[in-house]
Structure formats: C-alpha cells, structure tokens
Structure 1
Amino acid sequence: MDLEAVRTFAAAAEAGQFQKAAVDLSVTQQAVSKRIAVLERDLGVRLFTRTPRGAELTIDGQAFLPHARELLRAAERAVASVRTGRRPLRVDIIASRGAGSGLMRDFHRAHPGIELDVVMLFDVEAAVTAIRSGAIDASFRAVAAPGRPFPEDIESVRVLDEPLQLLTGPAHALAGARSVSVSQLVGHRIWMPGIAPGTEWAAYYDDLVAEFGLTIEATGPNFGSDALLDTVADTPALATFMSERTRQVWPAGYGLRRIPVTDPTLVYPHSLLWHRDNPHPALATLRAHLAATTPAHDAPGSWRPDWVLPD
C-alpha cells in the first residue's frame, strides 16, 4: 500500500478539506486529489464525499481511518528502529553474570537516558558477524582466538583485565588459604564444564594449561552455575575458576571460598569490538565511559596469553 497516499488520506480526514490538507503536506490540491483517487481505486471503495464545506468521510472512510493511522505509526516505528540515535544501542555480552554485564550496568547507571538492548551471542565469530551485519553495535569479548584475526573493518580496544579467583568447597585442601600462587594449583583438579572447543575462552584455558601445567577438566554436561556450585561445595577434590567480578550467590551452608590467585595474577582480558563505520552516538559515549572508568591493563605480575588483543 502506498504510504504517501495513506498519509494524504489521514491528513485530509483531519483537515476536512483537500485544500487545507494540501497546505499541511506542502503539495498541490491536485496532488491530494490524485493520491486519494489512487487509494480509493486500490481499496475499491469511496473514502470521501464532497460537500459545500469540504470533504466528509464515507462509512468506509471512517472504518479505514484508524487502520490508516496505525499504518503510519508502524512506519514511524520501523524507521526509528534503524535510525541512528533514535534506536537503542545494541550490545552483546558473554553471560548475564560476567564482567560485560557489570560494565553495562555501570554504563546504564551513568547514562540512564540511553536506551540499551543487551544480547548474548555464543562466540567471537557470531559477535563479529552480527557487528558487520549491523545486528549489534558492539560486543564484549575476552580474547581473539589465535589464528583468527578480526576483519579490517572491526575496531577493538581492551577495556578490562579481570583477575581469576579459585573457588573451593570448605573441605578442599586450599580452602583455608588467603591467596594461592599458580604453582600451588599444580596437581589440583579445576573443573570447568562448558568450555566449548574452538571458542575464545577455550583458547585462553588451553594456553593457561600449556604455560603452567594446570589440570583443567571440562568433562560432563554443563548444567549451569547452580549445579557447578553444588558439586564444588560437596567435592573436596574439585575447585573451579571464577572471575573476580562474577556476581554469584549461594546458600550460606555451602561454605564456598573465593581465593585470589597470585604469582602471577591470572587475568581474563575483555575487549570492546565495534564496526569502524558505526555512527550510533551512544557507541562513542560507551567507549568514552569505559576509557574513563576501567583500570589500566597489563599490571605487573599478571598473566594473559600473548595473542590477546593489544591496547
């Protein structure tokens, strides 16, 4: 259906005169008459009756008017959904309880007037594809897997190096430690179900094992964080890694311990990715916010893979 004809019909219905509708639309009266004639022909009904006072809606015109207005509102919503600056900023995070989620909550508190759509994509390839297609504006990704450079149209900046902590149950051999060195973790089973082969986080932990000789097990199905906490709490031989900023709550009876890892501090690096031609004004605001509020990277005594995105 010709939206200009529908818009002209709605204007004429409100004005009650074709001449006034022409002035409101900045077109000629002849153009108004022609558009309405085309619409009437398409619909197969008469929409107006000419009177000495102007133009009155017929019964069919009265029936069509609310639908015409809804069509125009739908068209406005469709345009607004893709018009830069009027649609929400779409950002991808890895998990709802991870660092990316926390960074976006901080951004929302600092800029409550900016509308946000937050999504969770599976891996860096899905994120890059969505950025290039315009489905999202930005993505928080920990690392770029080795041998998979980003396309030239994708920009990136490191925004956060997040220390890992050891999570143990109360009966674990390291449960009483105030901190543990990486060398103390050698020989202990660190259980991390859900490490998917080929992902950026799998590459990170592969390098961690190769560098320090740790035992990281990804066996068994991933039933989610609640099942992981249950198992770690009840199994003295198992521990797991949890990022420092991960928001997690468990029953007090579990007795779980979060223990800093030192010598070196294992950091999980987070970068922000976006398309270099993305003009959304809120994207620039997000980048400026992150630059001003996140700490410096590559602190002395920390470890990350060599192929992590540079600053």
Structure 2
Amino acid sequence: MDIVKIDKFDQYLNCRKNQIFSYLATKNLPVDLLLYNAYENSDDVYQNVFEKRIHRYLYLEKTLPEADLNLLGVSTFMYPTSSFDIVDELLPRLIDSHQVVFLYGAAWYLDYKQNTYHKIEIVHSIPAFAYQEKPEGRTYTIFDDVFDGVQRGQEFMHYDISHKVMKEYIENQGTEGGVNVLAKDRMTIFDFSTLKEKEAKEAFQAKYANWLDNFNDDFAVYSKIPQLLQDESIIQSFADAEAFHEIVFHLLSTLVGSRNHFLRFIQYTNPSSELIPVLQETVAAIEAVRFVANKFRFSGKLDVKRITDKANAAKAKETEFLELLNKHKYASVFA
C-alpha cells in the first residue's frame, strides 16, 4: 500500500489527521475540501502553543471533525481496544476484509520511530493494513513516518511490528498528547459505500461560508514575537533557552502549516483565484520571521530591527490576505 504523505513536514496536521488525509487521497476523494477552515486564528495558535507550551503536533487544529468526513460520504466505524486480546482477535479479521485499521497507542514502544522510542511517552496513531503468521509469532504491517535520524518524517514507509510490540503499544496509551479526532481508545475503520462526491463541493461551500462569517483575526501575535525574543524573564521561565526557542519554532511552524493547508483548499476550489499569490506571499513572510528567530536560536544573537521588520511584514501580509478574503467573500474561493 503506497500512501503519499500530505503534510510532509508535519507543520499542521497531527499524526492521525495526516494519516487520514493521506489515506483518503488514495481513494480519489476531494480531500482538500476538508481544509476549508485550516486558516487558524493566530491568537488561538499563540495561546495554545506558546502559552500552554505544547509542541505543534499536540495543537488541536480545527480540521477534520467526523461530521466533515460524512460530507464526503465517508462513514467511520469504531471497535474497542480496552484489552489487547480484543485487538488481537479483531484486527486480523478487519484486515482480512480489506480494511485499513487506525489505532492509538504509546509511541514509546515503537522501535522503528527513533525520535520517540524509549524517549517520549506520547500518544501516537498507526494504521495497520496487513499481518503475517510466522513461526515466531504474528506480525502486523503498518505505515508511518520515517524518523531514522536521517529523514525527518517526510514520507510514509511500511514497518512490521511484532506481536509483543503491538501488545505494549496498545496496552500503554501514553501520558502526553491531545487527541481531538475520533476516539483514542478505539480502532477506527472507514466505509466508502455512500460516497457523495458530486454533492461534496456544495456542502463544503456552505461550511466555508459559515466559517468565514465567524472568523476574525487582528494578527497581534506578530507584534508579540519580537518582544518575546528580547524578554529575558520570559526566556528564563522555560526549562532552558532551547525549550523556549523550540516553542517559538512550533508556534511559527503551526502558522506556516495552517496557511499552507488553507492554500491547498483554495487551489482546489478555484485554481485561478487572485487569493493564491497573496497567500503564498503571506506564507513566505511568516517563514522569514521563523528564519530570523531560528538564527537567533542557533547563534545567540538577535537582530532586533530585522525580526521586527519581518514580523511587521508578516502582519501586513496576513491583514492584506484576510481583507481580500472578506472583500470577495465566497466568489474568489469557489469558482
């Protein structure tokens, strides 16, 4: 099973959502419609990532509630994982019926995932799609990110998990992580028997219109960033300077990822929209802020004027884009 990873650099979607988006794309579904609300309020990102000091992959982004999957004609079915015996009995039967089964467990036990193996007790999602009965015991085949010290998760690859590792993974859910898509203690499969592709665009147009009517942002976060980077008391409130810089990086990466995913939505619904180049420039402006902040992270020297100028430029581009979005309302997005 070849799955092309949609969010290659893990800048926005959490592990489960990235897997679901990527898997549904193999079914030739218009998955980019699911990104109609990916343009996140910047203060919400700031409050959840910086103030709560959580990494990007724990940010509870707004995309992919189950109701939105239903609009694509995708139904979800869940099975309990309260004990590994249940999983071990049911999982092969589901796979035999040609299902890809999504599970949650503890990344601590996944020995192929070197960024978390015996390092971080965090909840992680894996999709299982095959199994093999071997003399030494059953193994399961899953797809997941590459994190081998060389490649940083840019593609999905296949891994075989031993019966022992799967048992440890399921029985220890992990102590860190926010899961807001489907159920953490369930195996999840998807049914495509009621696809409504023709109606999907109209349904998501209504969802998008409602989202835009209720969206606002003053982009004050870009005025805060230069101040944060200069405030020794804030930096010292973290475990160390690296912890501070890492959270700033995750804050800016979440904003970059949010805007990039909303760009996918517009490119799908209206490839000739005048919004596209403006949003591309907005992404580049935020990336420029991240670059200067990262330079400070590794050099220890902050160019105050440069970070201020870059942050002001990002705020101006965000403001320009949102004004243009509101000016044209729905016509410039849905061709």
Q: TM-score range by the shorter chain?
A: under 0.3
Greater helix content = 2
Structure possessing the higher radius of gyration over alpha carbons: 1
The TM-score normalised by the length of structure 1 is 0.20
The TM-score normalised by the length of structure 2 is 0.19
Greater strand content = 1
